[in-house]
Amino acid sequence: MSRLRIIHETIYSYKEAVRFGPHRLVLRPREGHDARVEEMRLEISPEFELEWSRDLFGNSVATVHILSPADQLRIRSEVVLQQTAPFPLRGSRPAMLVIPSSSPIWNWPWLPLTWPQLIQTTSSQ
């Protein structure tokens, strides 16, 4: 097992004070079989309010509401992650997506552009 410390800092500077709309932050790694968040620290300035939620993919999402105008916005995230060895791959063959040749390819118009190496067609006989 290994411990990872991830630090991310973003600073926006403006010529004069500006008002801020809500900011959506996705800074927390998603936990799974091979990773667990041990600690997370989030520093934001100026003064703010924070709401946590999860998106459809299980990611933690922070919505930040900045409470006053400012000429600088600073967001700093620090995460300590415990990582175990990932699951071993079964065999040395890459994953394969099998699409029957009777199925129209326009059902998956994004597929050839996204994962051309995964396409394998089958013939129905």
Render pLDDT for 55-89 as a digit per residue (tens, 0 to 9): 888 889 999 999 999 999 999 999 999 988 665 55
| Residue ranges per structural domain of the chain | 2-83, 95-125
* Residue pLDDT tens, the chain, 125 long: 788 899 999 999 999 999 999 999 999 988 887 889 999 999 999 999 999 999 888 889 999 999 999 999 999 999 999 988 665 555 555 555 555 556 555 455 555 555 455 545 444 44
**What is the CATH code of the structural domain delimited by 2-83?**
2.60.40
Closest CA to 68 of 95, 83, 46, 91: 46
